[in-house]
Structure 1
Amino acid sequence: MVRSLAMWTKTLSFPARISPNKTEKKDASTVKSPTVTPTPSTNSLAPNCVKNNNDINSLMNETNGNHEFGSHIYPDPDSEKAIMSSVVYCIHHKEGCKWSDELRKLKAHLNTCKHDAIPCTSKCGAQIPRVLMEDHLKYTCPQRRARCEFCNKEFTGHSLENHIGSCSYEPMYCENKCGMKVQRRHLGQHKSTECSKRLLPCRYCSKEFVADTLQSHLVKCGRVPITCPNRCDSSVLAREELEIHLKEECTISVMQCNFKDAGCRFKGPRYSMEKHLEENCQEHLSMMCNVVTKQQHQITSLKSALSRLSLNYSGTLIWKISDFSAKMTEAKNKEGMELVSPPFYTSQYGYKLQASLFPNGNGAGEDSHISVYIKILPGEYDALLRWPFAHSVSFTIFDQSTCPEKACNIVESFIPDPTWKNFQRPSKEPDSLGFGFPRFVSHEMLRKRHFMKDDTLFIRVKVDPSKIVAV
């Protein structure tokens, strides 16, 4: 590219101060220094007559490159020679060009400088440094010719950039993240028919599943049609209906008799079950009666075991009597009404006792007092015990006052008389009345003190443990 002088000199860099090479010494009074007419232009090398680059080009054309050009700019040939002999750097020295020489050689250097910009040879209009021209023509020039690496079609550089993102042959990863790479033109078909991560409906239950899990679903899908394993006459069944079919509907399914728990061992197909039940009705009834009898014995045994587990073996009974007012009213309206306590033992292998209470009194305490008694019941270890019963027994009714210091319990006790039949070894049927206190607590005393609270009484029956049983 041909450059004007003004274009050269705008970026010139001088490595040293310019000093004219004058060897002759002349008298200062007779020799005039070469001068350059100053100009307001930023180009210090251009005279007043040169206003712009066009003027410089016209001057260069007029002089045809001869030294006459210098005579137009530099009125003094010596100054022109000195300036043109000045050593300068290439205007592209900041880009990395290391050339430096006389100013007059700059133009010739720029015509070959690899950092100097020249028009793109493909005529794209860009100014490209020579050193970058090859890369520009190969990679960035809009007018370059290039082939798409996917479809192998040839495009200009600008067209190729638009084509790259839409080439139908470009491989792309499936959007369903199945891991497959498919050409863009086949991507739609892959997603709809081939992708292992596409959603597919189960043809039996209509629920959607990922394609690679559909087979495992079909193994357990409840709506998959299957045939009866007994090969009965029924039509195809859904898998989830098979169990009910075998239990209730399949005519060939082998069944046990409904009375199998009673002892019937019959097994046969469902269609023969009705006939079996009709023919063996009497036998089944007999079996059920035997089952009932066995169950009754078991219930009795369980009740006995439960009562033994719940028995009190401490020799002391705390008897809680709830709803006492209602029981008192009932006792006044019903003569001889008696309340009985749970049975208890004097020790683990001792005497079996039971307390009784008459809310409206008995004997001497009738209609005025509460009567309490103790009776001896037939026990499991009576054969090993010493008779007659000789332990002292005490009855205590608790005062439920809120202030324990003011509470006043009533206690009555007795020592059994060995001559009384009440304390002899009991028969299987115990006495109807035991031994105790007909006038234990008066009804008037019950109202004065706090023996009854929340309509509840507490009575303690205690056997003196100082007397030792025979075992």
Structure 2
Amino acid sequence: MAEPADIDGGYSVSLIVQKDFDKKFLCSLCGKVLREPIQSFCGHRFCKGCIDKVLKSEQQMKCPQCQQEGIGEEEYSVLRGDQMYPDNAVKREMSRIKVQCLNTGCSWQGLFKDYEDHASQCQFQLSQCPQCGFSVSHFELEEHKTKTCPKRPVICKHCGQPSTNAELSEHSKVCPKHPLKCEQCKTKKIPRDRLKDHQDNECPNRKWTCPADGQLVEGSRFQKHVEESAGNHLVFAMRQGDNINQRVAQLEERINTLSGSETLLLARQLQSTADKVNQIEQIVGNLASRPMSDPITHSGIQGQHVASGEIQMRVRQLEVKTDTFEGIVTTLHRDIEQCITTLETIDRQRKVDKEMIESNERKIRSLERTLALKDMTIMDLEARIQSLEYASYDGILLWRIPEFSKHRLEAQRGKTLSIYSPAFYTSRTGYKMCIRLYPNGDGMGKGSHMSIFFVLMRGPYDALLSWPFMQRVTFMLIDQNNREHVIDSFRPDPASSSFKRPTSDMNIASGCPLFIPHKRLDDASYGYIKEDSMFIKTVVDIANLTPLNDNKKLPDVSSTKKHSG
């Protein structure tokens, strides 16, 4: 026979309020309170889940209770599926047992028959967070997912990149827009992607490389550095002057090269003309050196005189052309020099304009950052002014909720589950509070009721107030037809963290999850919603509160010792 398997299918024994209950309500396999009791042929009872596991193992096993009683050798002690039947009699007896909820923080007690319904809706039931896997109570799950979950989605406020809260610190180490501090000039809030540009071009304390000796010198000390070694810097300046002169000579050679290439055709023409002039001069010289006694006829002499005149005329024409060509070449040289000068001037002006544009762009980015900061400051001031306009200091808040159908539709779609009222106070120096409304319900009232909760907020005078908060809170949904207002109230639980001194901006909300059913809220015979507006009045009992504190008083100024200078 097989031994009992590791079976755990029943309810915890601590579920039953009465400690000396009948042991027949315990499973003979798992030893816990029966869940769906099944009786075997031997008369002992088991949880349905426990006996199903035994039968699925396909191994014969004797009833552990029979073996304990010493009758395990009988055939009917073997657990068989065809000898099992639901024990409805015990189930009816168990339905009348008084039980309590096992969830931490829940004070529910009732009959066993109602336990399953309560357990399925208990707001203290632990649920696993889908983001981090941590178990929290059902009514805290939404707040945990949006406020305290380490893996909740967040957006980097500097670059807008999505991340998780746990990864945000690592992201800030590489975020291109994360503000950093310049270690040279101590300027703060410089985006990471602009820090190098700031240190290289904008920082007043950035280091310069001295061209004379190669030392790194801070910008504020550069003039003093030059004055301390004026001789070395003067020698460096003289060498730079020589280099400039050499550069000028190179440019002149370049100009000559450019002008020669452009006037190559003219030079060839001049050379051809010079060659012809030399030929004519040789001819003329030969004629002049020939003696007059040469046997030349009259007609021959006359022909030579005619030829000599024509040659001289051609020589003069060539000289005129040569002078013209030389003038043209001189003009071309001058025009080329002017063009090169103009190009160099344009290049220098272009560099100046580029630097000016970059400087203007840096100024524009700086102005844009300044405007963004001012816009954020204005939005914060507007929110504070609006909060002060609606604040009350007598513990009473009359909250008008316009466009209620819009808020309810957003809650049903899961977009915005709740809305907050303006803050109000018990006095000028009293508790700071607000109301949180769930149009589509929360916890036990989700989908069927409108839920309303009271929220304690961190205030400027919390250090002087008594904690925990102990004042009665009353909610009133006003019937605008003045027929039947919906009123509910509660007194805070001193042990609840919701009414202790806030350590964050808001405590966990506490109030009425089943404030008013949707069916009654939508009933046209009542005037809870008119012209798509709703009015909720909240009253905090301040009858036993002093203007500043509950139990403490400020020290008497006259009894304090004066400090003498």
TM interval, short-chain normalised = 0.3 to 0.5
Answer with 1 or 2: which has the greater Rg. Answer: 1
Q: As a proportion of its length, which structure holds more helix?
A: 2
Structure-2-length-normalised TM-score: 0.31
